[in-house]
Amino acid sequence: MKKIIILLSIFFFSTIAFCQDSSEAKSLLDEVAKKVEGYKNIYLEFDHKLDNADADVHQETMGKVTLKGDLYQLNYMGTEQIFDGKKTYLIIHEDEEVIIQNSDSNEAETLTPSKMFSFYKSGFNYEMDELKTIKGIKIQYVKLIPIDSNSEITNILIGIDIKTKHIYNIIETGENNTITTLEIRTFKTNQPISEKLFIFDKAKYRDQMNYTISEPN
């Protein structure tokens, strides 16, 4: 009987600690999201890394993105991507091609730039992870664990600058031990930008630049 009481006590207090830990992690993520929502726009420059030691794969690419609400303009791996709130325009300059997609043609799980600060809100359990000092900056990590046991994602670590409450990096570990890291190098807010940045000029690419344009039926 005594052993049972001890085990129940351990389980009870462990459950309380987990709930508090989960609540603290969710609260920190909400604080980050709320701060981001207060900006008129955001400009990011980032490093994107893909590593898999088993397959001897290491790729590193730089990119930049401007966000305004759900709208974004992304430059990454020689392509440009624009989302105007209704459609996504993938501009592949090397192939002189533009692919247009309706916003609902992508799966809900797809992580787009506009979801970068809010994707955590559904489909995950949360827990506080390590507090690290990186380049003199205190970074608190929050671990996201998919609720779906069949998810291809093992976990996601979100590194948060304790002082600014901005995301420092996002580290995703896949079930095949592939680690994808997004590290933000530049974070600027409320920049003077043109509304034309989020508008696709169809006539320019079709008539002036002679790009092939593929549209949804």
Ramachandran class of 123: left when φ > 0, alpha when ψ lies in -120 to 50, beta otherwise: left
**pLDDT band for position 21 (50/70/90)?**
low
Give the pLDDT score at 110. 53
Domain locations along the chain:
2-88+106-190
pTM, two decimals, is: 0.82
Give me 166's structure tokens.
């901005």
First to last CA, the chain: 69
Q: What is the mean pLDDT of the chain?
A: 85
Residue 44 to residues 63, 66, 102, Cα–Cα distance (Å): 8, 6, 25
The CATH class of 2-88+106-190 is mainly beta
Give Cα 9 distance to the centre of its chain. 39
In contact, 204 and 56? CB cutoff 8 Å: no
d(CA 79, CA 165): 30
Average pLDDT over residues 159-168: 94
Give me 141's structure tokens.
């990590």
d(CA 41, CA 14): 42
Give me 170's structure tokens.
């996002």
| pLDDT tens by residue, 99-154 | 999 876 444 445 567 777 888 888 999 899 999 999 999 999 999 999 998 999 99
